[in-house]
Amino acid sequence: MKKDVRFGPAGRPIGYKSKTEQVCDYINEIGLNAFEYQATYGVRISKQSALKLKANSEKNNVLVSMHAPYYINLCSQKDETIKKSIERLVQSAKAADWLDAYRIVFHTGFYTKYSKDEAMKRCKGAIEELLEKCESTGIKNYTFAPETTGKKSQVGSLNELIDICQSFDNFVPTVDFAHMHARSGGSIKSKEDYTKIFDKIEAELGLSVLHSHFTKIEYTDKGERKHHVLADENFGPPLTPLLELISENGFNVTMICETPLLDIDAREMKKEYEKIQ
């Protein structure tokens, strides 16, 4: 298979002021080839705009993913919150279908008073309902991609996501390396540490394409605290060993840059990758 390693920003590039519909012209122009459309505060894109953005991404060979609204909790103590979270994900799937977004990234939820097992049970119940709704709404093309989360209070360790993705069709994980680093108190230091992550995913899920997020991250004992720019050497995880591993193994990976410098750092990441080819 042809190697396909892509880089792009999480949301609108810095300095891009025109219409979102044409954003992929800009992304292509600055040498990037992925874009994560962000519906942070709700899915507001119209079908017409979504179709225009899709056409623009195809013209520019930019791979589009979508980040669902932040306010989602599939294992809330309140049934009403779960219901609303499912609605938001159904709306996201509908928009992702229009956009031809290959992943719908989202954060699964918070444990709150529940044990990890109880929280997972609630999440799985909600996901069953979600998939039924997507089916009955007639949405055809969608892949939900729950993200490894950065706080210990959040559902979303790699093991939990693997469990979810093994339990349902149309589910694959988004690996946020910085979140995994923050959640584990800084465990990612070397190529071997990255290798373990890829080996586990390969053994448990056998993915052909991995969707991922990357940033430098500051953390406390509760997990993630703040995202930092790529050049900040005070914070991990390290980028170079990850890129070396991807290159040496010919993995197909899309890396969405979530540093405060978005597209600017996405270009730095791509430059670094090209340097080691």
Q: Which residues bind Zn ion (CB under 5 A)?
A: 176, 213
**CB closer to Zn ion, 139 vs 217:** 217
Q: Find the shortest distance in angstroms from Cβ 1 to Zn ion.
A: 26
Please state whether beta strands 216-220 and 223-228 pair in parallel, antiparallel, or not at all (unpaired).
antiparallel
Q: Find the shortest distance in angstroms from Cβ 40 to Zn ion.
A: 12
Write the CB contacts of 126 (distance below 8 Å, at least 6 apart in sequence).
74, 75, 82, 85, 86
Q: What is the Cα–Cα distance from 242 to 119, expressed in whole angstroms? A: 31
Closest CB to Zn ion: residue number: 213
Q: What is the Cα–Cα distance from 40 to 52, expressed in whole angstroms? A: 20
What is the arrangement of strands in the sheet containing 63-67, beginning at the earlier edge strand?
34-38, 63-67, 104-106, 144-146
Q: Find the shortest distance in angstroms from Cβ 67 to Zn ion.
A: 8
CB-neighbour burial class of residue 263 (10 A; exposed 0-12, middle 13-18, buried 19+): buried
**CB closer to Zn ion, 123 vs 255:** 255
**CB closer to Zn ion, 224 vs 268:** 224
**CB closer to Zn ion, 88 vs 213:** 213
Q: What is the Cα–Cα distance from 106 to 175, expressed in whole angstroms? A: 11
Q: Find the shortest distance in angstroms from Cβ 192 to Zn ion.
A: 23
**CB closer to Zn ion, 198 vs 214:** 214
Let me know: does 231 contact 264? Beta carbons within 8 Å: no
Q: Find the shortest distance in angstroms from Cβ 230 to Zn ion.
A: 15
| SS3 label, residue 80 | helix
**CB closer to Zn ion, 98 vs 106:** 106
Q: Find the shortest distance in angstroms from Cβ 2 to Zn ion.
A: 26
| SS3 label, residue 19 | coil
Question: How is residue 199 written in tokens?
Answer: 């080996």
Q: Find the shortest distance in angstroms from Cβ 258 to Zn ion.
A: 5
Q: What is the Cα–Cα distance from 258 to 178, expressed in whole angstroms? A: 9
Q: Is 185 left (phi over 0), alpha (psi -120 to 50) or beta?
A: left
**CB closer to Zn ion, 74 vs 139:** 74
Query: What DSSP character marks residue 44?
Result: -
Q: Find the shortest distance in angstroms from Cβ 46 to Zn ion.
A: 26
Question: How is residue 102 written in tokens?
Answer: 């290959």
Let me know: does 275 contact 17? Beta carbons within 8 Å: no
**CB closer to Zn ion, 47 vs 226:** 226
